[in-house]
Structure 1
């Protein structure tokens, strides 16, 4: 299916308000999806016989610092149809610095999302509601802050050891 056909299929299934926009200027076009609908959209695209996006190739958290937003980018692939699709979701940065930006988990749709979402949580502090085991994966459990955020301040010491 073409990008346009996938858009029409999603609009027919979820209504016109589910797709917030599109980005077609890059190497791979992307659909901007309502954040609360991402798991349902992924499940639909995985199970639909015309799309069969059976593989989550990559999930990346993004700090859109200039726009004051956090986002997640999903790179889906259909191995049988040899097609790819990029989906993006984003939310405004929370006003409370203790509150984490949040998106629904897709780990119940794609098992590999378990690890991808843990990495996005660990490095950017993105919460994935419904994730079965959301905890740090790269950094120590007691690490403070999220190193890939634009506003992250590097620690000078960790457990008495000078860093960098």
Structure 2
């Protein structure tokens, strides 16, 4: 994607109420270690879809009405709905979604961490994918917190499988889930420094030996920039 094509995308999304929070270069947007993918010339805008306006359509309005003031904004993108809630309202919103007889989002597919270094004041996002098996409906719930205060309420009491999902989000992104029964690393060693799926994490590594050959860490490989 060229810079002019990226500008066209930004202008088109802005016309739809989108919000640009920065620009990604290369395949993965990593910094400080050289691009080894061969796609170092790619330039793409980081654009959030804009908020939807009522009526949202069908059962989307039913869920929005039930959540009421717990929701900051509703985003509908590519036929999928995301309810953005402030972190202070996260637990109440998730409890409502699970327990309300008209909603019954009984199943959570997990907690996904996302890091947007350019999204000032809300650099860390947590995304919850919920399914109502009773009504065959799928939604996302998204909340944010700043790098300097990465605390969110734990929802393990509502969805017990979040015990593992919150530990993984802490391990890879540094999100701290207050009230978690045993927040600890789940993939990386206990003494591992930092959180390796953050965008500002150095793209380093350890040598890998395979059938007598050695693959160096990414930061020691040839750069294609």
Q: TM-score range by the shorter chain?
A: 0.7 to 0.9
Give the paired residue count: 151
Match of 1:62 in 2: 114
Match of 1:8 in 2: 65
Cα drift, residue 157 of structure 1 = 5.8
Of 68, 82, 95, the residue aligned with 1:43 is 95
Cα drift, residue 93 of structure 1 = 2.2
Task: State how far apart, in whole Å, the 2-side matches of 1:27 and 1:93 are.
Answer: 31
The reply to whether residue 104 of structure 1 matches residue 161 of structure 2 is: no
Q: Higher Cα Rg: structure 1 or 2?
A: 2
The reply to whether residue 81 of structure 1 matches residue 130 of structure 2 is: no
Is the contact between residue 60 and residue 72 of structure 1 (CA under 8 Å) also seen in structure 2? yes
Segments of structure 1 that go 5 or more residues without pairing to the other structure are 95-99
Task: State how far apart, in whole Å, the 1-side matches of 2:156 and 2:192 are.
Answer: 24
Which runs of structure 1 show a deviation greater than 4 angstroms over 4 or more consecutive aligned residues? 154-158
Cα drift, residue 141 of structure 1 = 0.3
1:12-27 → structure 2 map (5 Å cutoff) = 16=69, 18-27=70-79
Cα drift, residue 155 of structure 1 = 5.1
1:93-132 → structure 2 map (5 Å cutoff) = 93-94=147-148, 101-132=150-181
Cα drift, residue 4 of structure 1 = 1.0
Segments of structure 2 that go 5 or more residues without pairing to the other structure are 1-57, 208-214, 218-225
